Homo-oligomer: A and B are copies of this chain.
């Protein structure tokens, strides 16, 4: 956490920016990163802003503007050097600083996220899952053990985890959040379709899937 903070500051100071990179730019940079990973798999050395822009159906001036925010020097005559651009994005967004998290709720969504290997390569290390269902406890998903929820406070403290990915059914969301707050969890990535009530010192990130879909469908014909 401290390292991440320091990284932000370095970015702010070294580029003379008055504010950190916006959410929209971060989102686009991770999509560029996906594309660059695919290029590396295909052994392609160079990529142009136009190629990235075409894949995302956005303007290439936008791509160049975003890339200019990075400390990226790998621009060749035929485009950006794929490997260097990828590393620049990783450095800027702090992929290398591993964040440890638990998944609470070992249903379909929790299991899907536990299997989402992409998380690891982006610095999100899911250590374990938690559930209250006796039939699930002791089993594992993608090599991660499902523990009884009552074990969470102790394991969080021991392993220094303060991030929880919350994937319990809607009706248990608030009571689980209360339990997480008591267990000193500081960040909740909330996949439940509920707005959680938590104290100010706890941050909730709402993964508002329905909101995302509505943005999508609202813009369908625009």
Bound together, the chains give a CA A27 to CA B210 distance in angstroms of 9
With A56-B195, A210-B119 given, is the CB distance from A4 to B189 under 8 Å? no
Question: Are B94 and A218 touching (Cβ within 8 A)?
Answer: yes
Residue tally, chain A, CB below 8 Å to B:
66
Question: Are B118 and A210 touching (Cβ within 8 A)?
Answer: yes
Question: Are B8 and A222 touching (Cβ within 8 A)?
Answer: yes
With A26-B215, A55-B197, A211-B26 given, is the CB distance from A115 to B119 under 8 Å? no
**A187 cross-chain contacts in B, Cβ below 8 A:** 216, 220
Bound together, the chains give a CA A199 to CA B109 distance in angstroms of 31
Count of this chain's copies in the oligomeric assembly: 2
Q: Mark A190-222, 1 if CB is under 8 A from B, else 0.
A: 000111110010011111111111111111111
Question: Are B26 and A218 touching (Cβ within 8 A)?
Answer: yes
Judged by a CB distance under 8 angstroms, whether A179 is at the interface is no
Q: Which residues in A have some Cβ–Cβ distance to B below 8 Å?
A: 1-2, 4-5, 8, 20-21, 23, 26-27, 29-31, 34-35, 38, 55-57, 93-95, 99, 107-109, 111-113, 115-116, 118-119, 122-124, 167, 170, 187, 189, 193-197, 200, 203-222
